[in-house]
Amino acid sequence: MTDPLLDYHNDLPVELSPPDITEYREGNSGVEYVQTMDSGTPGPHVLISAVVHGNELCGAIAADWLLQQAVEPVAGRLSVGFMNVEAYLSYDSNHPNRSRWVDEDFNRLWGPGVLADPKRRITSELRRARAVQPFLATVDLLLDIHSMQQPCVPLMMAGMVAKGRDLAAQVGIPSAVITDSGHTEGMRMRDYAAFRDPDSTRNALLIECGQHWERSAADVAKATMVRFLRASKIVENDFGHDWLKTMPAAPAQAFYKVGEIVTVESDAFIFDRPWKGFEHLAKDTLIARDGSRLITAPFDTTVLIMPSKRLHPGKTAVRLAHPISQ
């Protein structure tokens, strides 16, 4: 049964189709739907992660494309994983929001102690996260591919420590890089353990490629993945050249930091305008009302990061960022 939180109307065009990934079920890594290719020479273990959210098709398209290339890493190890497979396999283009998760958000389970908590409700996502976790613990560099509810410029979510920004700069796209700490509701996979430890060389990025079902999201996913693999130096320098040359030149990167997470508190949360994301607002501009609470822009330049349509108590409504220098 669909989680009622996900049963809301979609009024955006659905231009992408989900690739059939069932041929990857058995895998070769010991974890279903996780493929791994070891070069046999020293280098980082790189994981490309798709469908942490089952309704975000661009990651599946990029990961499937990469696997179809049968790319052999020249150093280290390359892995490709489909995460919330049960949700993804339930995708229905007539109700494309419903397949985001089965029981709960897979991307809120990665805080200290959560997966090992014996009192935690056993959900489809908890089972899958527990199956994936030992493999994830061997990953040095993670690119987690996502998309957004609203049409918005692509955003690189670089996590809470400076090393994420540095890695985003090496990748070079997209133009907007956001330093952030995620959600009050629970920690994301990209922030798991060493990925958020400033003293560890292990590192992670989360790319938001555009609106979930717009064609360009798949192109952004592929381009970012190619450049991420090049930056990790486990593929040839010109890997993906033929495909990348079809993409427009990337503008210079700009960096932002989330300074405030707005979490829904009441049953009467309403945005003042139909924000799409990445609007730049002057300080004190009214953003939303949460019951009697007024939410206004706290920074001289306040940048809206991914305003949500799932406005239920405990969920993130929007994140508020401001420009920073790298």
Which of 37-45, 76-84, 143-151, 272-280 is the region at the interface with Zn ion (rule: CB under 5 A)?
143-151
Residue nearest to Zn ion (CB): 146
Residue 146 touching Zn ion (CB under 5 A): yes
CB of 212 to Zn ion, least distance (A): 8
Q: Which is nearer to Zn ion, 202 or 212 (CB)?
A: 212
Q: How far is CA 92 from CA 16, 35, 56, 99, in A?
A: 12, 25, 12, 7
Residue 108 touching Zn ion (CB under 5 A): no
- Contact between residue 16 and residue 102 where contact means Cβ atoms under 8 Å apart: no
Which of 17-25, 49-57, 180-188, 311-319 is the region at the interface with Zn ion (rule: CB under 5 A)?
49-57
Q: Which is nearer to Zn ion, 128 or 146 (CB)?
A: 146
How many residues interact with Zn ion (rule CB under 5 A)? 3
CB contact burial 51-78 (16+ within 10 A = b; e otherwise) = bbbbbbbbbbbbbbbbbeeebebebbbb
Residue 100 touching Zn ion (CB under 5 A): no
CB of 152 to Zn ion, least distance (A): 13
Is residue 282 left, alpha or beta, with left meaning phi > 0 and alpha meaning psi from -120 to 50? Answer: beta
Residue 27, helix vs strand vs coil? coil
Choice from 45, 53, 183, 190 touching Zn ion (CB under 5 A): 53
Helices marked H in 29-142 — which ranges? 57-68, 85-89, 124-136
Q: Give yes or no for a cis peptide into 174 (omega within 30° of 0).
A: yes
CB of 226 to Zn ion, least distance (A): 20
Which of 141-149, 191-199, 247-255, 264-272 is the region at the interface with Zn ion (rule: CB under 5 A)?
141-149
- Contact between residue 147 and residue 58 where contact means Cβ atoms under 8 Å apart: yes
CA gap 318, 309 in Å, rounded? 10
CB of 211 to Zn ion, least distance (A): 12
CB of 325 to Zn ion, least distance (A): 28
CB of 188 to Zn ion, least distance (A): 9
Q: Which is nearer to Zn ion, 37 or 58 (CB)?
A: 58
Which residues, numbered 202-221, are part of the site for Zn ion (CB under 5 A)? none
Q: Which is nearer to Zn ion, 56 or 140 (CB)?
A: 56
Neighbouring C-beta atoms of residue 97, cutoff 10 Å: 18
Q: How far is CA 164 from CA 203, 213, 222, 255, 289, in A?
A: 6, 27, 20, 11, 33
Paired tokens of 145 = 């591919």
**Phi and psi angles of residue 148, each rounded to the nearest 5 degrees, phi first:** -120, 160
Q: Which is nearer to Zn ion, 83 or 234 (CB)?
A: 83
CB of 58 to Zn ion, least distance (A): 10
Residues that bind Zn ion (CB under 5 A): 53, 56, 146
